[in-house]
Structure formats: structure tokens, C-alpha cells
Amino acid sequence: MRKALQVVAVVLALAIGASWAALGANRGWTKTSREVRQLDEVTGIEGITNVKAFLPGVDFLGAGLLIAAGFAGASLLFRKPKQTTT
Amino acid sequence: MKKQIVSLFVIAGLAASAVAGPLSFDFKDPKGVNNAQFKLDAPLEAISGSAGGISGTVTYDPANPGATKGKIIVAADSLTVPNTMMKDHMHGGQWLDVATHKEITFEAKELKNVKTTDTITTADAVGTFTLKGVTKEITVPVKLTYLKDKLGQRMPNAKGDLLVVRANFTIKRSDYGVNPKAPTDKVADEIDLTLSIAGAAPQK
């Protein structure tokens, strides 16, 4: 059980970190939309359209790492399996 | 006799166009390009967003750009930021209270320091800015670009002119009662506003 929780903690931390980095390593709060800009050639104005998007921020990274740390911490509640010597 | 009558109409037409006077530009853009952008750059957090619900009317005289007047309205509930929760807070009673104060407006009453080169005019627009029910007189540097007969290029089968208005200015949220007690290290007091809008004056 101890080993299983530690593996879950490491996998979760890596998955959270990798997905945060892969989705732009946004150092602000998590964004649920992003701006798409398109130039109007007649007026020279850049029109802004907001489209739905999930861009995880530092809150997402922090929460994920905290949960992973929780799993790692919980693993300490279980004793190490005794090593049998022959 | 017939030729003389036709000539008379042509001369009358030219004279009328020469003294056409101010044109009224409607800033409700059916293409949805018009926008206002805002940015608050606090030490701990930068917040930026935009608004698209723009309307209003500006009267502009190509022969006298210095006489330009008008009112631009931004629908308060069209202000958006990339985080849904933050947007809901921003619209709430403590911040913009969009349910009660539905419009953010700027009414230009006169232009000062007017400089016109060809179809481009730069000036300082003196007028009143209203946010969350608080009205203050401010001066906004503006750039007006008059695009004669360009309406048809944006809207097929339409004839008329376009007026592009650009402005960039700063206000303080504490001056307008926008959550003045909020810590300025997280939400800056100064709001940088950029307006990029085009209005249409269709030929009648």
C-alpha cells in the first residue's frame, strides 16, 4: 500500500507538471477562454473574439502538486514491509 | 434649355456636397470588430480583458474635424477576462455592479490641440467619463481617421464613409468607486484603457 501511494503521488505530480507545461506553462491564474484576434483590413482594427479554452495556471499546478504531496504523505502512515532475512 | 436645367442640378449637387456639413457616424458595428481593452498591471498580478458591446454616435465634419463631438457607450456586461470566476467577480456589486450600472460612457464635448494631416486628426478630447454611476471630466488623446467612401468595402451594397477612432488613456478605479478598498498590489488602481472603434455614416 505504501509503495502504491508513492507511485500514485509521483505519477500525479509528473502528469500535472507535464500537462501544465504542455498547455503553455501559464504563470497566471487558470484561464477558461482565450482571445483570437483578426485584423479588419479596411479599418486596421484588430477584432477580438473570445473562444473557450482551458489554459491551466499556477493554481492548477499548485492544487495538483498539493494532492500529490497528500498521497506521498499518506503513504508514510503505512509501515515499511519488513525485510525477511534467510 | 434642357442642358441648362441639367447643368443647374449638377452645380446645385456639387454645391450641396461642398457644404455637406457634419456627418453622423453610428458606432454599433454589425461586424463586431469594435473593441475596448483594459489592463491593470499590479505588482503581484496583471489583469487584462476586453469589451465588445460598443455603441454610440459621433458627429464629424471632414471640413472641420476640430468640431467633432459624440458619445461612445460600452455595455458593462460585455467586459470579459479569460477567467470565468474572475469575470463573475468583476461584474458583481463590489466591482462594476453591471446589474445596476449597465453602461460605461464617454461623451466628448470639445477637441483641443487639434492637428489634421490629410484624413488623420489627432486631438485631446475633453469630455465626461461615466463608470459605475460616477461621472468625471477627463481629457483623452484621440486619433480620428476619416475613410471616405469606404463603407462599401466593409458592408457590401452599402455606400458611405467610415470614421475610425483610437484612444488610449488611464483612469483610477478608486475615483469611480470600483472596490476602492481592494489591495493595489493585487489589483492595480490604474486602469489602462484602449479604444479601437469604427463608425459608419451611410449615404442617404
> What are the sequence ranges of the domains in chain B?
32-202
Interface of A with B (CB under 8 A): 28-35, 38, 40, 42-50, 55
Residue A50 lies in a domain: yes
In the predicted model, is pLDDT for residue A31 greater than 70?
Answer: yes
Chain B residues in contact with A35 by the CB 8 A cut-off are 50, 82
Judged by CB atoms closer than 8 Å, whether chains meet at A43 and B86 is answered as no
Judged by CB atoms closer than 8 Å, whether chains meet at B84 and A32 is answered as yes
Lowest mean pLDDT among B8-22, B80-94, B114-128: B8-22
pLDDT value of residue B2: 60
B135, B168 in Cβ contact below 8 A? no
Residue in chain B closest to A35 (alpha carbons) equals B82
A28, B77 in Cβ contact below 8 A? no
pLDDT value of residue B18: 47
Judged by CB atoms closer than 8 Å, whether chains meet at A43 and B33 is answered as yes
Chain B residues in contact with A38 by the CB 8 A cut-off are 33
The average pLDDT across B141-170 equals 95
Instruction: Please tell me if residue B59 touches chain A, with a CB cutoff of 8 Å.
Output: no
Report residue A56's pLDDT band, with 50, 70 and 90 as the boundaries.
Answer: very high
ipTM for the whole predicted complex goes beyond 0.85: no
In the predicted model, is pLDDT for residue B146 greater than 50?
Answer: yes
Residue A83 lies in a domain: no
pLDDT value of residue B31: 87
In the predicted model, is pLDDT for residue B130 greater than 50?
Answer: yes
Instruction: Please tell me if residue B187 touches chain A, with a CB cutoff of 8 Å.
Output: no
pLDDT value of residue A29: 87
Say whether domain B32-202 belongs to CATH 3.30.300.30. Answer: no
Report residue B96's pLDDT band, with 50, 70 and 90 as the boundaries.
Answer: very high
The average pLDDT across A65-70 equals 96
> Half-sphere exposure (CA, 13 Å, Cβ side) for B127?
22
| Residue owning grid cell 497566471 | A28
Report residue B8's pLDDT band, with 50, 70 and 90 as the boundaries.
Answer: low
Q: In angstroms, rounded to a whole number, what is the distance separating the alpha carbons of residues A75 and A83?
A: 18
Is B37 buried (19+), middle (13-18) or exposed (0-12) by CB count in 10 A? Answer: middle
Q: In angstroms, rounded to a whole number, what is the distance separating the alpha carbons of residues A36 and B91?
A: 22
Residue A85 lies in a domain: no
Residue A86 lies in a domain: no
pLDDT value of residue B14: 47
pTM listed for this prediction: 0.82
Residue A38 lies in a domain: yes
In the predicted model, is pLDDT for residue B16 greater than 50?
Answer: no
**Which of these, B67, B72, B73, B55, lies nearest to B22 by C-alpha position?**
B67
Burial A44-81, CB ≥16 within 10 A → b, else e: ebebbebeeeebbbeebbeebbeebeebbeebeeeeee
Judged by CB atoms closer than 8 Å, whether chains meet at B83 and A29 is answered as yes
The average pLDDT across B21-38 equals 94
In the predicted model, is pLDDT for residue B147 greater than 60?
Answer: yes
Instruction: Please tell me if residue B96 touches chain A, with a CB cutoff of 8 Å.
Output: no
Burial A8-28, CB ≥16 within 10 A → b, else e: bbeebbeebeeebeebeebee
The average pLDDT across A57-69 equals 95
- Considering chain B, what is the average pLDDT of its residues? 91
Judged by CB atoms closer than 8 Å, whether chains meet at B33 and A35 is answered as no
Instruction: Please tell me if residue B160 touches chain A, with a CB cutoff of 8 Å.
Output: no
φ and ψ at residue B109, rounded to 5 degrees: -100, -30
Domain holding A51, by residue range, is 2-75
Total domains in the fold of chain A:
1
Shortest distance, CA A57 to any CA of chain B (angstroms): 10
- Considering chain A, what is the average pLDDT of its residues? 91
pLDDT value of residue B9: 55
Shortest distance, CA B2 to any CA of chain A (angstroms): 42
Residue A80 lies in a domain: no
A45, B164 in Cβ contact below 8 A? yes
Judged by CB atoms closer than 8 Å, whether chains meet at B50 and A48 is answered as yes
Instruction: Please tell me if residue B143 touches chain A, with a CB cutoff of 8 Å.
Output: no
A43, B164 in Cβ contact below 8 A? yes
Is B155 buried (19+), middle (13-18) or exposed (0-12) by CB count in 10 A? Answer: middle
Shortest distance, CA B113 to any CA of chain A (angstroms): 24
Residue A9 lies in a domain: yes
Helix axes A2-22, A58-75, angle to 10 degrees: 170
Query: Tell me, what amino acid is at B136?
Result: K
Residue A33 lies in a domain: yes
The average pLDDT across B165-174 equals 97
A83, A17 in Cβ contact below 8 A? no
Q: In angstroms, rounded to a whole number, what is the distance separating the alpha carbons of residues B176 and B169?
A: 15
Q: In angstroms, rounded to a whole number, what is the distance separating the alpha carbons of residues A47 and B45?
A: 25
